[in-house]
């Protein structure tokens, strides 16, 4: 990006050291200035350690709603969300948290529960909040100590809350941690202690994200007998980009000037490519980034508009513009490191009818409530439809279940459809009913925000000192046992590994030749996933005639095919340094906009604006400058962002993320992250993820170990079948679910244990445990962790009869059966024939049921 443009950005210096959040400007409508320059002295000096007192949660600058994808274009920040956080805070201050073992453990672990009851009083009496008392330790054996929950910090609840915002469950491991092998046993005291250490490290770094935290900082805090857990937690967090990432000077200086590790080629200088490049450079790799454009940023592009000889300027984002959720958002971390103050997108969003008159607020609220209720109704029906819902579009379902509407209500209804199509960059007629919102459970909590001066400020910081070769359009990628070769024009780049971060639209277009061809599984995933379109018309005016007391307003259309044309306007007047207004074009209209003449587009948007404001006596002047985007016509992206189309599922994001060629060819980008697709932070996180994977493969090769072959197509098919089979398990009890063949008594069974979901309400005496469950439910209610085990059908049914609840059953599973719980990948090839056999038996059963006119036997549920 042009550095001269960047140097002219408004200076935003207001900064907070809050470890949970970063500074967000909450504008007051009475005194907003269109100049985004802020007073650097206006920020209060917060506590250096926000988790050290009761103000930790209550004094946040924002509330913590969870904005669902359906509301991306029109943020809602209900007052109830504020009281919800305050309620959590109230529980935090009224509960005794010195008994840390109670507060962080899972009710589904028997060992933990036993330790809680036996050790809580002893832990509460330790006024230093540590188990490092040498006199006591000398009297205990190592085994005794390993069976106790350690106490690192009395504010373990606050630390777990921060870990939650970073994407970690409050009381269990992620599947990635299990695959990484952070603990030797998935359930038990070791896991609880690891989680305490992990959360503490994250919190310490979040207190000051401009410093580089070392493992030595925690040696005197973590008991010596947990040194291996400290090593494991620290190495995992660093390798996967949860700490010590970004653009702060203390972090940048860690990048080696004389890299000693293998050569890596990164294709694409967008957020994913830049994140991966910086991480790999910090790990000691020699990196080169190839970018087809003459600028960095990819689909994040801040343009400077100028008029009247430079007297009127405005910085505007032509692509990714809104930070969708701020709690734990890594882009917010970058903003903190750069001392930027984010601008909260305010909730006020009036709608105007076709004739320009304001929509009646009561009618607006009624239709919005009805629309959201309709989405909930459709969601319930898709569950009853089962696999059939995978072949039905969301649009068809909405049309089927919506009731009769008046003309004005229908226009409002279509506005919400347009908003939905904007959020998904796809037509509702092509979105999967089953999985269109599969990423909703992982939405970043918090407000939607703008970066004053544009997101290009983040790109500019990430680009610093990264070796980028601009104007290098990649034509072919060759990968094999001896390394990789990337052809860009007449030049061929050679390396040990290559990371491809090109958008899904480019992969669909087939403009890059992969040699050998990508596996059919990946090609099918590329084909199934949707890649939609959002366009914008950007207008720079002499003044903000629409006012500065709102950030968004909407306009209705009476033509369903045009419902997405200028349906929503973003005001950049408070963040652009000038009077900038952006009109969004979504759905069918976005595709027509690609071939619309800019003069025509500007005339149409002015007609809409004049229809709204001139009846109010407000003159709408001619714009000083205008820009129309055409993202589908851009050969370096071929569209905007991904969605789950009919026939696709969240699994396809995982498929696109899979490496190819036994650790030679890797993929990153927003379309490779199942949890955060279609977001800027998702792209950034995918870059961190692949940097960790590439470092892992490089380490294996350097040690002379054999690279594990990529799973076979059959293994992939079995993994997909496993997810389908557990939609209707044969037996369910507590947090356990079983699938098995019914014909033979000696058949094998697959057990799934779910952590992190809805759990049975605890007694009031265990209020700390209940607090954690409420925290986890509030931030990520459906972020369940599934672990598995392969065992005999006889063992499975015996497990069901064990008394004492989930805790006793987990103990029985481990101690009596000697079974270890693993992630889905950990089941290995031994489970593939079992899965295939169960699937085949179910198919035969359904066929027999249809031919006999009967019903198949329902699954067994134990209360």
Which tens digits make up the pLDDT trace of 594-616? 999 999 999 999 999 999 999 99
Q: What is the CA radius of gyration of the chain?
A: 27
Instruction: Check the CA dihedral 511-512-513-517 and report its sign.
Output: negative
How does residue 862 score in pLDDT terms, banded at 50, 70 and 90? very low
Q: Could you name the CATH architecture of 256-297+457-530+643-702?
A: 3-Layer(bba) Sandwich (3.50)
3 state SS of 540: strand
Task: Give tens-digit pLDDT for 161-185.
Answer: 899 888 888 778 888 898 888 998 8
Q: Is the CB of residue 664 less than 8 Å from the CB of residue 495?
A: no
Give pLDDT, residue 54.
30
Q: Report pLDDT for 787.
A: 84
CA distance 330 to 769: 28
Q: Give the per-residue pLDDT at 167.
A: 87
* Residue with the two structure tokens 């889905």: 824
Summarised one tens digit per residue, pLDDT across range 531-548 is 999 999 999 999 999 999
For residue 159, give the 3-state DSSP assignment: helix
Per-residue H/E/C for 231-256: HHHHHHHHHCCCCCCCCCHHHHCCCC
CA dist 812 and 650 (Å) reads 34
Give mean pLDDT, residues 15-33: 45
pLDDT tens track for 228-286? 999 999 999 999 999 999 999 999 998 877 888 999 999 999 999 999 999 999 999 99
Three-state secondary-structure class, residue 43:
coil
The backbone torsions φ and ψ at residue 521, rounded to the nearest 5 degrees and listed phi first, read -60, -45
Do residues 171 and 163 make contact, with C-beta atoms less than 8 angstroms apart? no
Alpha-carbon distance 736 to 47, whole Å?
A: 44
Q: What are phi and psi of 751, to 5 degrees?
A: -100, 135
**Tokens representing 457?**
């400020």
- Look up residue 385 and give its two tokens: 């439809």
Q: Where in the chain are the domains?
A: 96-239, 256-297+457-530+643-702, 713-862
Residue bearing tokens 């209060």: 44
Strand order in the sheet with 625-628: 351-352, 552-555, 565-571, 579-585, 535-541, 625-628
Burial of 485 (0-12, 13-18, 19+ CB in 10 A): middle
pLDDT band at residue 132 using 50, 70 and 90 as cut-offs? very low
Main-chain phi, psi angles of 630, to 5 degrees = -145, 75
Are 323 and 341 contacting, i.e. CB atoms less than 8 angstroms apart?
Answer: no
Nearest partner of 46 among 25, 28, 11, 22, judged by Cα: 22
Reply yes or no on whether the pLDDT at 70 is more than 80: no
Q: Phi, psi at residue 150, to the nearest 5°?
A: -80, 160
CA pair distance 591, 647, nearest whole angstrom: 22
pLDDT of residue 583: 98
- Using pLDDT thresholds of 50, 70 and 90, give the confidence band for residue 24: low
Instruction: Name the DSSP letter for residue 705.
Output: P
* Nearest one of 722, 727, 731 to 859, comparing CA atoms: 731
**pLDDT band for position 783 (50/70/90)?**
low
Percent of the chain with pLDDT over 90: 57
CA 389, 391, 393, 399 torsion-angle sign: negative
Confidence of residue 503 (pLDDT cuts 50, 70, 90): very high
Interatomic CA distance for residues 637 and 473, integer angstroms: 12
CA dihedral 499, 500, 503, 505 (to 10 degrees): -160
| Cβ-count burial 628-650 (b if 16+ within 10 Å, e if not) | bbebbebebbbbbbbbbbbbbbb
Distance CA 76, CA 348 (A): 9
Q: Find the helix packing angle between 189-207 and 156-165, rounded to 10°.
A: 80
pTM for the model: 0.78
What tens digit of pLDDT does each residue of 839-848 get? 878 877 766 6
Average pLDDT of the chain to the nearest whole number: 81
SS3 assignment, position 484: strand
């Amino acid at each position: 990006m042009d550095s001269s443009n960047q140097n002219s950005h408004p200076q935003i210096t207001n900064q907070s050291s809050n470890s949970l959040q970063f500074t967000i400007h909450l504008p007051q409508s009475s005194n907003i200035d269109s100049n985004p320059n802020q007073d650097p002295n206006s920020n209060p000096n917060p506590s250096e350690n926000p988790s050290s007192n009761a103000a930790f949660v209550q004094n946040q600058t924002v509330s913590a709603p969870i904005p669902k994808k359906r509301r991306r274009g029109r943020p809602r920040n209900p007052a109830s969300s504020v009281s919800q956080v305050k309620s959590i805070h109230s529980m935090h201050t009224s509960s005794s948290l010195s008994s840390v073992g109670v507060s962080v453990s899972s009710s589904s672990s028997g060992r933990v529960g036993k330790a809680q009851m036996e050790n809580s009083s002893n832990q509460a009496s330790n006024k230093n909040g540590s188990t490092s008392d040498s006199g006591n330790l000398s009297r205990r054996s190592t085994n005794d100590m390993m069976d106790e929950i350690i106490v690192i910090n009395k504010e373990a609840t606050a630390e777990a809350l921060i870990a939650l915002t970073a994407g970690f469950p409050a009381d269990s491991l992620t599947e990635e941690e299990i695959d990484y092998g952070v603990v030797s046993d998935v359930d038990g005291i070791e896991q609880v202690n690891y989680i305490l250490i992990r959360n503490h490290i994250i919190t310490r770094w979040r207190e000051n994200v401009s410093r580089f935290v070392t493992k030595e900082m925690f040696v005197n805090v973590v008991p010596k007998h947990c040194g291996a857990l400290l090593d494991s937690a620290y190495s995992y967090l660093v390798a996967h980009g949860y700490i010590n990432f970004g653009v702060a000077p203390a972090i940048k200086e860690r990048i080696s000037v004389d890299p000693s590790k293998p050569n890596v080629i990164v294709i694409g200088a967008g957020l994913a490519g830049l994140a991966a490049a910086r991480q790999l450079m910090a790990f000691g790799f020699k990196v080169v980034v190839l970018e087809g454009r003459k600028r960095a940023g990819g689909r994040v592009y801040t343009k400077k508009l100028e008029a009247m000889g430079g007297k009127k300027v405005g910085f505007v984002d032509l692509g990714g513009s809104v930070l969708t959720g701020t709690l734990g958002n890594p882009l917010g971390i970058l903003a903190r490191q750069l001392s930027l103050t984010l601008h909260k997108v305010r909730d006020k969003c009036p709608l105007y009818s076709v004739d320009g008159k304001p929509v009646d607020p009561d009618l607006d609220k009624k239709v919005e409530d009805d629309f959201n209720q309709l989405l909930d109704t459709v969601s319930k029906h898709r569950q009853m439809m089962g696999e059939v819902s995978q072949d039905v579009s969301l649009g068809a379902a909405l049309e089927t279940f919506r009731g009769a509407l008046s003309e004005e209500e229908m226009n409002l209804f279509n506005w919400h459809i347009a908003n939905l199509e904007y959020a998904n960059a796809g037509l509702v007629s092509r979105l999967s009913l089953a999985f269109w919102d599969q990423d909703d459970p992982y939405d970043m909590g918090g407000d939607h925000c703008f970066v004053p001066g544009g997101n290009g400020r983040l790109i500019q910081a990430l680009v610093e000192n990264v070796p980028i070769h601009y104007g290098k359009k990649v034509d072919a990628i060759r990968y094999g046992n001896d390394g990789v070769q990337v052809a860009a024009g007449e030049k061929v780049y050679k390396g040990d590994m290559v990371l491809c971060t090109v958008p899904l639209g480019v992969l669909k277009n087939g403009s890059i030749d992969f040699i050998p061809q990508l596996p059919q599984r990946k090609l099918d995933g590329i084909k199934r996933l949707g890649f939609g379109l959002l366009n914008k018309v950007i207008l720079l005016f002499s003044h903000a005639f629409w006012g500065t007391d709102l950030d968004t307003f909407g306009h209705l259309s009476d033509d369903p095919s045009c419902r997405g044309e200028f349906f929503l306007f973003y005001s950049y007047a408070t963040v652009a340094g000038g009077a900038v207004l952006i009109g969004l074009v979504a759905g069918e209209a976005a595709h027509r906009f690609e071939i619309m003449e800019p003069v025509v587009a500007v005339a149409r948007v002015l007609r809409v604006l004049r229809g709204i404001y001139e009846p109010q006596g407000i003159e709408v002047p001619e714009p000083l400058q205008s820009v129309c985007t055409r993202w589908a016509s851009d050969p370096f992206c071929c569209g905007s962002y991904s969605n789950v189309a009919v026939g696709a599922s969240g699994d396809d994001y995982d498929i696109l993320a899979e490496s190819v060629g036994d650790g030679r060819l890797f993929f990153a980008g927003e379309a490779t992250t199942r949890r955060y697709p279609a977001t800027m932070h998702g792209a950034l996180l995918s870059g961190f993820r692949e940097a960790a994977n590439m470092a892992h493969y490089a380490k294996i090769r350097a040690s002379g170990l054999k690279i594990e072959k990529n799973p076979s197509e059959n293994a992939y098919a079995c993994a997909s079948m496993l997810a389908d089979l557990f939609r209707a398990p044969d037996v369910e009890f507590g947090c356990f679910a079983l699938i098995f063949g019914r014909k033979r008594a000696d058949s094998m069974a697959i057990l799934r244990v779910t952590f992190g979901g809805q759990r049975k309400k605890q007694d009031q005496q265990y209020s700390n445990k209940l607090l954690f469950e409420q925290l986890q439910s509030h931030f990520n209610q459906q972020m369940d962790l599934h672990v598995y085990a392969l065992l005999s059908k006889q063992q499975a049914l015996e497990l069901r009869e064990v008394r004492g609840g989930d805790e006793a059953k987990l103990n029985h599973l481990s101690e009596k059966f000697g079974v270890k719980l693993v992630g889905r990948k950990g089941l290995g090839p031994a489970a593939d024939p079992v899965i295939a056999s169960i699937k085949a038996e179910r198919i035969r059963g359904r066929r027999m049921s249809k031919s006999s006119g009967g019903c198949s036997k329902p699954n067994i549920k134990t209360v």
